[in-house]
Structure 1
Amino acid sequence: MSRDTYYVTTPIYYPSDKLHIGHAYTTVAADTIARYKKMRGFDTMFLTGSDEHGQKIERKAQAAGKETQEYVDQIVETFKKLWDKLDIDYDYFIRTTEERHEKVVQKIFKKLYDKGDIYKGNYEGWYCTPCESFWTERQLEEENEEKVCPDCHRPVEWVEEESYFFKMGKYADRLLEHIKTHPEFIEPESRRNEMINFIENGLDDLSVSRTTFDWGIPVPIDEDHVIYVWIDALSNYITAIGYETDPENFEHYWPADLHLVGKDILRFHTVIWPIILMGLDLELPVQVFGHGWLLSDTGKMSKSKGNVVDPVVLINDFGKDAIRYYLLREVAFGTDGTYSTEALIQRINSDLANDLGNLLNRTVSMVEQYFDSEIPEPSVVEEVDQDLINLAAETKTEVESQMDKLKYTVALEKIWNLVRRTNKYIDQTTPWILAREENKRERLKTVLYNLLEALRIIAVMLKPFLTEAPYKMGEQLGQLEAIENASWDDSKWGSLKTGVKVYNGEPMFPRIDLEEYFEKVEARKEESAAEADDNKEENNLELAEVKDRITFEEFMNTDIRVAEIIEAEKIEGSNKLLKLKVDIGLEKRQLVAGIAKHFSAEDVIGRKILIVANLEPATIFGVKSEGMILAASDPDGNMVLSTVGDNIANGSQVK
């Protein structure tokens, strides 16, 4: 692999259903580093795709009454549409049902078999269908006297069948040595330590074939078996770039510089995958980075919990750049974080609308007013100018350092320090005062040039992160072509073209009224409900479909308590929110409830209601809320609170 290449991958996603915001989180991160490396002059390869085989997919298709290939084709199409809406600029989208991939996976299996690394035996043990994972007795966990998968905590199945096995232990010492001598191989450090402990506890031989379903790649030496999904899926990283089919291209890009994966599949990418590569006598990837989860208020997002956030809805509501910025800025990459629409809107209003958008608007307006929209030549320089110039240079260096460590949040914070410093520069230099005196005109030219140049540099540095705003900035600054063609080195000071016209366009990021937005969301729900009503048979009440079943343990994790409302008041500026103070026996809590259209503050005081007491606190319309009341609506839309008799003590738990 030559020094000027950079190969980055996402996991290939499982097409059991549409993707959620957590999947977008990984893919936007990969897209950003690929764009950054391309700007640095690297020949980049960015791979994503879909992992389409396995028992879970086969069962999903059967449940939907569709042929398996037809089912995955429809789901994969939604993947591609989502990546298009987010401007994900991948170089190749691999599907594991591609003929080329399937043939090479069979060759990989045969190579490992011929080498003696795969042998035939009988498997008896525990299998988790959702995770496509085999587990030993000692690895399982137990919940409510039921054996569950240690990854997803769902019940496992006992499987007895003939199987081919891969000799994992043969390469365990070699892998352990590699991890310890190449600490950059697994990041962050906490994940590396987990994998070291996992390997040191001993590796069992891995079952790499199945006979109980057909939806997979046939084992080339025994067509009664299909190849275990993780050999199939993990091999995509080499089949996509030409392993066994295009040696020149494969040698050009391999080994991969970065596999970006969620922490839940880190073990497969840092234990199974490198051991497969060792068996094939191939180099290991430079780095596998296991990032944290983007959680909802109720924990890890999953369709079965009904707590997923649809990125398509968010993109339609807020725009792709706002979503990309939020995903990269809100949560330190590598740690878990919680998605919040309130936090998203706050980022849009504060960082994008106020800091960046307002800076662009103020600057372009002054150039229009004082120099007939033409960018002036700088002349009279003062110390405050050099401070701004120095910070721009420091920002470039610091962003480079942070991007090399995948610290997207810190990199964006460095850029925003420059944005805020440029806003401060306006206040320090007071161009509106300089414009009043003719003898200050040369100084005014320098000030406005510096503002425009700072904005140009900010636009260049934002190109890896945002895919629309830098070019809108370029248009308004009269520098569109320069921004479009800019490399990373063009974020140096002094490249702004003078004598060209600026123009004041529409705001890039209009401010969003939090209350109005949630009212629109509520209106959409009501409209959807009304449409559903229109489709019902006359006098036949159609209730919402019951969500997927949950375990008793999952239900017991929800702490529902009796609470007495002791204070209530409307939240200023909102026509649907009440701020409540409730007594839950052990303590008093503050809640925000969207019930003001149905109940006055006076109506609810003294009522004993049911609340979910163990939700993470949230800020709603600027007010902290420490729980959620339970309520229902009748067919006419009238709200009813869940209440209990006065004789039930505050804090009593619903079981």
Structure 2
Amino acid sequence: MAKPAIYTTTPIYYVNDKPHIGHAYTSLAADVLARFKRLDGHEVFFLTGTDEHGQKVEKAAQDAGEDPQAFTDRVSQAFRDLTAVMGFSNDDFIRTTEPRHKAACVALWKVLAERGEIYLGDYEGWYAVRDEAFYGPDELTERDGVKYAPSGAPVEWVREPSYFFRLSKWLKVLLERYDLPEGHPDRIEILPESRRNEVRAFIQQGLKDFGEGSPKLDLSVSRTSFTWGVKVPGDEAHVMYVWLDALANYITAAGFPDTTAPRWRFWPADVQFVGKDIVRFHTIYWPAFLLAAGLPAPRRVFAHGWWTNEGQKISKSLGNVIDPVALVEEFGLDAVRYFLLREVPFGQDGDFSRKALVNRLNGELADALGNLANRVLSLIQRNCEGRLPSGDVDASDRQLLSPMGLILGSNSLTPSDPPHPLVGQLANLPARVAVELDAQQFHSALEVVFGLVRDANAYITQRAPWALKKTDPVRMAAVLRHLHTALRAYATVLQPFMPETMSALLDQLGVPTDARDFAALATPLADGTPLPPPAPLFRKIDLAAA
């Protein structure tokens, strides 16, 4: 039976500045999940792109002395370039200035208007240009006579004609959707749990303060104070609120308004990755727009934390913005990809430090995995004529399993020779990693694999195949074959995290390019498969010089 199609997205990134480590981090999570699901036999649609309208972009273009379209063309290209530098496997890159997206926004607006979900009125309130958001007075702080939003952005009092979306009508519905049991088709899941609690509390407080159905809870969805945006159909003095415009990108790319389009089968999105600063937009406004339009809401929104730099908050004023392109140039792509998802539990805030990156690279990648691969493959070159040895086993190794759980020989053991911890632990490795990735616990997924890598290093030390050639060459061959099998499993499941390096390792292991998905692990390589001479996988870094 075919496995279900998977749709995963990044937020579309605002083009008021060049990309930084936060953008790379979010997209990397989506990329790893997409790559893993493809290897597991799923059809996947992975979307990223840029959000190019709104007052903030208009102002940034003015400050740069450029036309808004020229400005967005230039900055959007920097985000597209980042996808190539970071090795992202996105299936589409959407820009909100594209004709397809403007058409989808107009179509969505018309559906909402026809269903009575939008009405014309006047709006006044505290507005942060930087956030493109209004805030209530209880959310503001004041310093030196200037009021600030919770994000730290300054706010100003704004009054203008506005179209409103009947958000108040949908708030109780959203609360009900959040609380549906796991597996229910209408459940809207917000992760981590702390973000779900935050969103629920925000809605409940609004309902408590203003009451169900209060217009005070409705959302202003148009502006007349600037022009850089999608024009409201039938009233071009208004442009659409940038978040209504931006959020619609996820269905634009799926083919909306043509719900018979081939890509529409991917909707609703399975996982939408966002930063914690925009969780409210993606878990309240976005599903409310969709439900009001009679469309399915996304199944899960996962809000990750923020990075600091050597303990300091990252900001342009401090000059400590982390450039992911520079990191890749210095440390290598796969080392950076690995570090970002290994160092911090996804969903929590984390601190970037060069020392931590170098320690992960040198310790786990170069010493544990890279050295293991080099030792095993060098021993096969020297002692097995560079060909994959037979998988025949002796009593102490009989329980070693292939990655898909196939027992290599009898499972009986002699009491005097118990199995090493490695024995039996390769069973269902892709499924074990999948459990962690399905919960977006990327660091735990990597720990599953690297726990086994540590066991494999202990196994080779205990079995000492280099000493067996003269005393027991059959057992030597079996030990090396087991270690080769283990390395193949590790490299296969680590491909989503480190695609270039694991491709190189699979080449050295003699695995054909058409036998690198999870299903292929059930089929052992033929005895005698020629293996190329090994080469180092990771370049160690001198911390003092880094």
TM-score in terms of structure 2 length: 0.90
Out of 240, 253, 256, the position equivalent to 2:269 is 256
**1:351-401 Cα shifts (integer Å, max 9, x gaps):** 110001100111111111111111111223233452534111154332121
The runs of at least 4 aligned residues of structure 1 exceeding 6 Å deviation read none
Out of 378, 382, 401, the position equivalent to 1:365 is 378
**1:208-242 Cα shifts (integer Å, max 9, x gaps):** 11111111001112101100000000001101111
Matched, 1:164 2:167: no
After TM superposition, the structure 1 = structure 2 runs for residues 234-383 of structure 1, keeping only pairs within 5 Å, are 234-245=247-258, 247-297=260-310, 299-383=312-396
Q: Whole-Å Cα distance in 1 between the matches of residues 316 and 116 of structure 2?
A: 41
Q: Whole-Å Cα distance in 1 between the matches of residues 81 and 285 of structure 2?
A: 31
1:299/1:127 Cα in 2 relative to 1: closer, same or farther (>3 Å)? farther
Matched, 1:116 2:116: yes
Percent sequence identity over aligned pairs: 45
Partner of 2:490: 458
Q: Whole-Å Cα distance in 1 between the matches of residues 372 and 335 of structure 2?
A: 17
Matched, 1:474 2:506: yes
Matched, 1:402 2:432: no
Structure 2 counterpart of 1:122, which letter? D
Partner of 2:12: 12
Structure 2 counterpart of 1:430, which letter? A
1:305/1:154 Cα in 2 relative to 1: closer, same or farther (>3 Å)? farther
After TM superposition, the structure 1 = structure 2 runs for residues 449-528 of structure 1, keeping only pairs within 5 Å, are 449-482=481-514, 485-492=515-522, 495-517=524-546
Aligned-CA RMSD value: 1.7
Check conservation: 2:509, 2:531, Cα contact below 8 A. yes
Matched, 1:189 2:193: yes
Partner of 2:412: none
Q: Whole-Å Cα distance in 2 between the matches of residues 144 and 181 of structure 1?
A: 46
How many Å apart are 1:173 and its aligned residue?
1.1
Structure 2 counterpart of 1:506, which letter? A
After TM superposition, the structure 1 = structure 2 runs for residues 128-143 of structure 1, keeping only pairs within 5 Å, are 128-143=128-143
Structure 2 counterpart of 1:496, which letter? L
Partner of 1:562: none
Check conservation: 1:238, 1:250, Cα contact below 8 A. no
Structure 1 counterpart of 2:491, which letter? A
Out of 376, 381, 393, the position equivalent to 2:427 is 393
**1:508-541 Cα shifts (integer Å, max 9, x gaps):** 1121101122xxxxxxxxxxxxxxxxxxxxxxxx
Partner of 2:101: 101
Q: Whole-Å Cα distance in 1 between the matches of residues 236 and 120 of structure 2?
A: 13
1:305/1:125 Cα in 2 relative to 1: closer, same or farther (>3 Å)? farther
How many Å apart are 1:143 and its aligned residue?
3.7
How many Å apart are 1:480 and its aligned residue?
4.1
Q: Whole-Å Cα distance in 2 between the matches of residues 394 and 424 of structure 1?
A: 21
How many Å apart are 1:138 and its aligned residue?
2.3
Check conservation: 2:391, 2:527, Cα contact below 8 A. no
Check conservation: 1:25, 1:327, Cα contact below 8 A. yes
SS of 2:9 mapped into structure 1: strand
Q: Whole-Å Cα distance in 2 between the matches of residues 250 and 508 of structure 1?
A: 38
Partner of 1:423: 457
Check conservation: 1:149, 1:156, Cα contact below 8 A. yes
How many Å apart are 1:142 and its aligned residue?
3.0
How many Å apart are 1:298 and its aligned residue?
5.1
Structure 2: runs of 5+ lacking an equivalent? 183-187, 208-216, 400-418
1:480/1:292 Cα in 2 relative to 1: closer, same or farther (>3 Å)? same
Structure 1 counterpart of 2:529, which letter? V
Q: Whole-Å Cα distance in 2 between the matches of residues 394 and 488 of structure 1?
A: 10
How many Å apart are 1:50 and its aligned residue?
0.2
Matched, 1:199 2:203: yes
Check conservation: 1:120, 1:165, Cα contact below 8 A. yes
Q: Whole-Å Cα distance in 1 between the matches of residues 491 and 538 of structure 2?
A: 14
Higher RCO (C-alpha 8 Å, min separation 6):
2
Q: Whole-Å Cα distance in 1 between the matches of residues 393 and 64 of structure 2?
A: 72
Structure 2 counterpart of 1:142, which letter? E
**1:377-435 Cα shifts (integer Å, max 9, x gaps):** 12232334525341111543321211111111011011001111111111111112111
Check conservation: 1:110, 1:221, Cα contact below 8 A. no
Check conservation: 2:229, 2:239, Cα contact below 8 A. yes
Q: Whole-Å Cα distance in 2 between the matches of residues 300 and 92 of structure 1?
A: 32
SS of 1:122 mapped into structure 2: strand
Q: Whole-Å Cα distance in 2 between the matches of residues 339 and 68 of structure 1?
A: 34
Q: Whole-Å Cα distance in 2 between the matches of residues 347 and 137 of structure 1?
A: 46
How many Å apart are 1:109 and its aligned residue?
1.3
